[in-house]
Structure 1
Amino acid sequence: MASELHEAIFMAKQERHKNLFLNYRNLNHFPVELLKDEGLQFLERLYMKGNLLTTLPDNLAQKLPNLIELYLHSNNIVIIPEAIGNLPRLQSLDLSCNSLHLLCPEIGRLRSLRHLRLSNNQLKSLPPEIGDLQFLETLDVSMNLLTSLPDRLHRCSSLQHLSADHNLLSHVPRHLCRLARLTQLSMAANILTFLPLDLGGSRELQFVFVDYNVDLKGLPSYLYNKVIGCSGHVAYFLRVRSCGASPPGDDQDEALSEALLGLPAEVKAVASEADNVVPLEELAMRTLHRLYQQQWHHATDVNFPPSIPLPKSLLDLLHFPLGHCHLCTQAMFTVIYPKLFPLRHTALAAVHRRTTVSFVAYCCSSRCLRTFNLQS
């Protein structure tokens, strides 16, 4: 086995191979032959699946500077050295099925990275620096121990596919609704109780999978014409048109309360058609938001928000509102006007009869509440 390995690396050096396959070689350590002398300066793709590696060498970037893809699926890697950030051309990094407990912040220095796969590890958190990966298109952190996702993840402006199934996530950061290119979001088998009010508002987001979140009862109405999976089993709801829905009545009050069990902490009031006057605090926040947006629009540096003398918690809310009215797009901060559309009243009832999930429209006023329907 050792002679075969030596020969494979020798041939790669002699013939200047761009791809090197060292899968299933029972390697306990990174082959020293790859790190001798000048290393393999021309190597672009290194595949080392199914070995027994526990770490990577600190001089990896120095000896293999042109790596584009590093495939380390199914090893025993516990730690990634800080030097991983010195691979300027790396576009794909697969560390799935390892023993990672921690991901170093230097991962954020891989500015060319497009695909990062970390599924089936022991990660309890992700470094905020992941938000620095502006070209990242795929992020898979399924089957870990994550209790939250980094707030700065919304800075990954190229992100298209985000998978975080089988974790301990209690909520989806509303910041993710700002990911304009996100097409697929998968967060099955977590402990979600609610989804961001704006989730699905982007035309690009077409696939949302939240199966096996047993306390999740209400989906934002934006998701109605998307492809979703929900309610404890896989239920593919294909794009259909509404066949009409009944407005909430006394017989739906209990169902509405159940659908709203896990609202964000910022919601201070759940209003109804009878509440015709928006609270003063909400009006003040909306006015501040318009001012904030105007200052942001005229700011010379778009990377820094305008300066408004408010506590950070309020500034964060101004930058990322609780949601936007599903009818008129007015920003909302502390009060919502919900409208329930139980599945039995929609065309989706025939698709999968076992689901108990309902759609909820979140409106900014009693007027929008009365006007909204699923075809708005």
Structure 2
Amino acid sequence: MATELHETIFMAKQERHKNLFLNYRNLIQFPVELLKDEGLQFLERLYMKRNSLTTLPDNLAQKLPNLIELYLHSNNIVIIPQAIGNLARLQSLDLSNNALQLLCPEVGRLRSLRHLRLSNNHLKSLPAEIGDLQELETLDVSMNQLISLPDRLHRCVSLQNLTADRNHLSHFPRQICWLHRLNQLSMAANRLTFLPLDLGRSRELQFVFVDNNVDLKGLPSYLYNKVIGCSGCGVSARVSEAGLGEVLGEALSEALVGLPAEVKVVGTGTDNVVPLEELAMRTLHRMYSQRPTDLSLLPPIDLPKSLLDLLQFPLGHCHRCSQAMFTIIYPKLFPLRETALAGVHRRTTVSFVAYCCSSRCLRTFDLQG
């Protein structure tokens, strides 16, 4: 086996191969032949799937500087060196099915990276620096132990496909709704209790999968015309038809789901006056939206940081008129069994919820209008 490996690498050097396949080689250590002398300066794609590697060499970028794709699926890698950030041309990195417990912040230096796959590891968090990957199109962090996603993920402006199935997520940042190229979002089998109010507002987002989040009882009405997966959400599908209305009534009285902490008031159809704090926030937001994004150019405003953050990323936008909302919402329930999608999703009692900015919008909103 060692002789065959040596010959494969020798041939690759001699013939200046751009692709090198070292899958299923029972490798315990990274082959030193790849790193001798000048290394393989011309190599662009390295495949090392299903070996027994536990780490990567610190001089990988120095010896393989032109790597575009690095596939390390199904090894025993526990840690990757900080020097990984020196692979300036890397576009695809697959570390799925390993033993990663930590992802170093230097991954944020891979500014050419387009595809990052980290599924089936032991990650409990992701570095904020992932938000620096502005070329990233695919991020797969499914089957880990994540309890949250980085707030800065919204800076990955090219992101099209985000998969975070089978983690421990109870919520995810509302800033994700500002990913205007995001086409598919999958958050199945987590611990979600609510979804961002603006989820689905972007026309580009067409596929949303939140199956098997048993505490998730409401979907933003923006998702109504999307392709959604919500089997196993909400109360048990075995609730009798007679008791279903009562359960949904209780859910509505509790605003359906656990709401974001920023929600201070849940309005009703009889409320004719929006609270002063909300009106002030809406006025400030209009002022901010008409000025440069550089906050240092704005006049100083004495507000808590949480409210300043809300000015940049509102809680949501009215599903009827698109007015930004900050501290109050007016929810309107549309049980799934009463919609055209009832026959598609039989294994759920989840409902659509319209989040409006006033009692007037609440009264005039129609899900299928």
**Other-structure match for 2:253:** 257
What is the letter of the counterpart of residue 106 of structure 2?
Answer: E
SS at match of 2:291: helix
d(CA) in 2 for partners of 1:369, 1:7: 72
CA contact (8 A) 1:214 1:231 kept: no
Is 1:295 aligned with 2:297?
Answer: no
**Other-structure match for 2:365:** 372
SS at match of 1:338: strand
Q: Aligned residues, how many?
A: 357
CA 1:171–1:34: 2 relative to 1, 3 Å: same
CA 1:307–1:189: 2 relative to 1, 3 Å: farther
CA 1:271–1:253: 2 relative to 1, 3 Å: farther
Which whole-Å deviations, capped at 9, do the CAs of 1:222-263 have from their partners, x for residues lacking one? 000101111417xxxxxxxxxxxxxxx999642413562211
**Other-structure match for 1:246:** none
d(CA) in 1 for partners of 2:190, 2:167: 5
**Other-structure match for 2:227:** 227
**Other-structure match for 1:123:** 123
**Other-structure match for 2:268:** 272
What is the letter of the counterpart of residue 334 of structure 1?
Answer: T
**Other-structure match for 1:72:** 72
What is the letter of the counterpart of residue 293 of structure 1?
Answer: S
CA contact (8 A) 1:218 1:259 kept: no
d(CA) in 1 for partners of 2:133, 2:9: 32
SS at match of 1:348: coil
1:339 corresponds, among 328, 332, 335, to: 332
Q: Please state how far the C-alpha of 1:305 moved relative to its aligned partner.
A: 7.5
d(CA) in 2 for partners of 1:315, 1:352: 40
Is 1:56 aligned with 2:56?
Answer: yes
d(CA) in 2 for partners of 1:250, 1:74: 49
Which whole-Å deviations, capped at 9, do the CAs of 1:190-232 have from their partners, x for residues lacking one? 0000000000000000000001100000000000010111141
Overall identity of the aligned pairs, in % = 83
**Other-structure match for 2:240:** none
Which whole-Å deviations, capped at 9, do the CAs of 1:162-183 have from their partners, x for residues lacking one? 0000000010210000000000
What is the letter of the counterpart of residue 261 of structure 1?
Answer: V
Residues 162-173 of structure 1: pairs in structure 2 closer than 5 A: 162-173=162-173
CA contact (8 A) 1:216 1:231 kept: no
**Other-structure match for 2:187:** 187
2:315 corresponds, among 308, 315, 322, to: 322
**Other-structure match for 1:243:** none
SS at match of 2:341: helix
TM-score (norm 2): 0.94
SS at match of 2:147: coil
Is 1:361 aligned with 2:323?
Answer: no
SS at match of 2:228: strand
**Other-structure match for 2:236:** none
SS at match of 2:78: coil
Which whole-Å deviations, capped at 9, do the CAs of 1:280-302 have from their partners, x for residues lacking one? 11111111111111223xx5x59
d(CA) in 2 for partners of 1:307, 1:61: 46
**Other-structure match for 2:94:** 94
SS at match of 1:353: coil
d(CA) in 1 for partners of 2:173, 2:126: 14
CA contact (8 A) 1:285 1:333 kept: yes
What is the letter of the counterpart of residue 203 of structure 1?
Answer: R
Q: Please state how far the C-alpha of 1:307 moved relative to its aligned partner.
A: 5.4
Which whole-Å deviations, capped at 9, do the CAs of 1:271-325 have from their partners, x for residues lacking one? 11100110111111111111111223xx5x59x7745433221111110000000
Unpaired runs of 5+ residues, structure 1, are 234-248
CA contact (8 A) 1:171 1:195 kept: yes
d(CA) in 2 for partners of 1:198, 1:353: 25
